[in-house]
């Protein structure tokens, strides 16, 4: 499995590198040519995830290390059957304080 990931997401190498082909990229440089052969994409809010980025790729899963999803076209992902995971609720205790 080939995963393209934002290089600023902590601990990815430690958690995934032994199990998958992990390619760390500057989030601003994630482009259609970078993701075309990827199975999964892990991003932060700096990367817009939509048809323009993924249309000609084999990406089947997108994960975002953010609670918000304004940078992701969820409807387009759903129509393509692309899975999505977010960090929704990750800031809940900090917000409650």
User: Tens digit of pLDDT for each residue in 27-76?
Assistant: 999 999 999 999 999 999 999 999 999 999 999 999 999 988 999 999 99
Distance between CA atoms of 47 and 89, rounded to whole angstroms? 20
Please give the pLDDT value at position 72: 97
SS3 77: helix
Query: For the domain bounded by 2-88, which CATH number is listed?
Result: 3.40.50.720
All structural domains of the chain with their residue ranges: 2-88
Burial bucket for residue 3 (CB in 10 Å: 0-12, 13-18, 19+): buried
pTM of the model: 0.89
């Amino acid at each position: 499995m080939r995963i393209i990931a934002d290089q600023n997401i902590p601990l990815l190498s430690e958690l995934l590198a032994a199990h998958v082909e992990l390619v760390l990229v500057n989030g601003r440089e994630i482009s259609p040519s970078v993701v075309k052969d990827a199975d999964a994409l892990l991003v932060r809010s700096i990367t817009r995830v939509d048809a323009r980025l993924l249309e000609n790729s084999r990406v089947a899963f997108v994960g975002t290390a953010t609670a918000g999803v304004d940078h992701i076209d969820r409807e387009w992902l759903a129509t393509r059957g692309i899975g999505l995971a977010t960090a929704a609720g990750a800031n809940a205790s900090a917000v409650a304080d």
